[in-house]
Chain A
Amino acid sequence: MTDLNNLTISDARDKLRSRDISAVELAEACNKAAAGSDALNAYCLKTPDLALEMAAAADLRIAAGDAPDMCGIPLGIKDLFCTKGVTTQAASKILTGFVPEYESTVTSKLWDAGAVMVGKLNMDEFAMGSSNETSTYGSVVSPWKSNGSNAELTPGGSSGGSAAAVSADLCLAATGTDTGGSIRQPAAFTGIVGLKPTYGRVSRWGVVAFASSLDQAGPMTKTVRDAAIFLQAISGHDAKDSTSADIAVPDFEAALIGDIRGKKIAIPKEYRQDGMPTEIEKLWNDGADMLRDAGAEIVDISLPHTKYALPAYYVLAPAEASSNLARYDGVRYGLRAKLQAGEGINEMYARTRAEGFGPEVRKRLMVGAYVLSAGFYDAYYRRAQRIRTLIKQDFENVFADGVDAILTPATPTAAFGLGEMAQLDPIEMYLNDVFTVTVNLAGLPAISVPAGMTDAGLPLGLQLIGKPWDEGDLLNTAYAMELCAGFVSKAPKWW
């Protein structure tokens, strides 16, 4: 019999309902797996007692026949989500010891549905990073290794703890957040499914803000079906987030029929870059073949402003971050720097922020303050907002032409070694987001599905981009691709 922590959400749900297993047994298995996972550094805080308590309550609900799909399902929660009474730091030193007095809407919905918290998951500081190396808790180590190598690899970022935990079966699924690719890139690097919903589908309330017009929470799961079940539980309008949309939430799992005959799937030529590794190019071609074999029509399209997405993002995201992170000033929560005699409140602000934020966050906040400053606002921020309009129009045009989904690689490469990016220009690091960031700028839903392996034995993911509010159709296409790809590999356990 497989260990219970290896189960998917859908399998666990069925076994819980048929009383083959109990939620407490399931939580115990995940607690045990989490306890033995310190070499991965995926959990920044484990909550085993809370997990057992929540699981016992879930068992009562299941026995009473009142069990939503997520009831009794053990989850890891990215440290960006405020959890009442449980330390939440966004992996930053500046929030040292912060214990929220409130619960984020996403986690509230999960707990209301009976889900169980195994712990909080490591991430890049304030979700700024693509390798999970900017965390105050230290880097997350991927469960995956290249064939014949013992070098530690990145799980990706910023939701690197979430990706490592799901991939290594340290929980059944995890929450992630995606501002420029932070769900999809780590999902691709670790061989799991990551879904960024349409902007506004999921409430941002209680999620520590990075760039509010780009941030969106979503599921990181072992299968597409699990992503559908998970998304169902966290979607919907929330009066506490004025950007959450008051739009009906369809039954996402019911959309998984696996039939994509007649669907029009587009390949954008601008994503075919010079110097693209042949493994990525092959994966992409294979993905198109799979969808074609499943009855879809593959068409070539152009998204002409693609190359400007990354520079526009690196204006807009730091600008919004500089505004959002102004609240960390040493007054209301977290760290306050020590002052010398004669120093006052201005030194307190500037030193608290210098000591509390890591180098990547500091750099982005300075870039953000600069592009918003008098004399540069129009040249940088305003211009980037206009280009954002053009990028969104590119997508609107192809969807208006009848395209149902767009297929791209999720990442430009497979996972790289921890420490490798430090040798490079920061722009090289930002290029990790090149295939994912357009989606955030346009507010679209997109999913990363594990679809292949490199010769070195590392997972690769394909991304499908869908129409706004049509996650059901997107999930169904992803489901068809998942069935064709038949990706089942797991990292051999070494930790």
Chain B
Amino acid sequence: MSIDKDTARRAAHLARIEVAEDELEKLAGELSGILDFMEQLNEVDVSGVEPMTSVTPMRLKRRKDVVNDGGQQAKILSNAPDAREGFFAVPKVVE
């Protein structure tokens, strides 16, 4: 098994997903199954092969560096679980 309980806890933390302590063992098993499946990628000789970073080789389009949108505060906040005085509201961050 490639993933132990501590590694599963770390993966959950990196993904910012709360996982109860007593569920970590099962999660480790599931993640291991998937990662073991990926191990076969190690059979391939990839030396000298460029990683694919663009599906279609093309240069990104450029545009003028000007303001072309904005003034939509109400729309941007319209779906917020908690919006106050024109801002997204969140629990206190600074102690």
Contacts and interface: CB of A to CB of B under 8 A. Distances in A.
A271 interface: no
Given A199-B55, A370-B11, A353 B93 contact: no
Given A354-B18, A366-B31, A387-B44, A331 B88 contact: yes
B17 A384 contact: no
Given A336-B82, A443-B55, A345 B17 contact: no
Given A333-B79, A344-B93, A386 B51 contact: yes
B11 A367 contact: yes
Contacts of B39: 311
A305 B44 contact: yes
Contacts of B76: 101, 332
A426 B52 contact: no
Which label, helix, strand, loop or mixed, suits the secondary structure of the B interface? loop
Nearest to A246: B61
B30 interface: yes
Contacts of A353: 15-18
Given A98-B79, A307-B40, A331-B90, A390 B30 contact: no
Contact of B34 (A333, A343, A367): A367
B40 A343 contact: no
Contacts of B11: 366-367, 369-370, 373
A368 interface: yes
A311 B14 contact: no
24 contacts: A98-B79, A199-B55, A200-B55, A239-B63, A242-B61, A245-B58, A305-B44, A308-B40, A308-B43, A315-B41, A322-B15, A332-B76, A334-B79, A334-B81, A345-B91, A347-B18, A349-B16, A350-B18, A354-B18, A357-B17, A362-B17, A367-B11, A384-B38, A386-B49
Interface string B44-88: 101001111101101011010000000010011011111000001
Interface string A123-143: 000000000000000000000
A314 interface: yes
Interface residues of A, number: 70
Interface in A371-389: 371, 373, 380, 382-389
Given A239-B61, A380-B38, A245 B56 contact: yes
Interface string A336-347: 100100011101
A330 interface: yes
Interface string B1-23: 00100011011111111110000
A314 B91 contact: no
Contacts of A331: 80-81, 88, 90
A371 B38 CA distance: 10
Contacts of B19: 354
Given A334-B79, A390-B44, A468-B56, A373 B88 contact: no
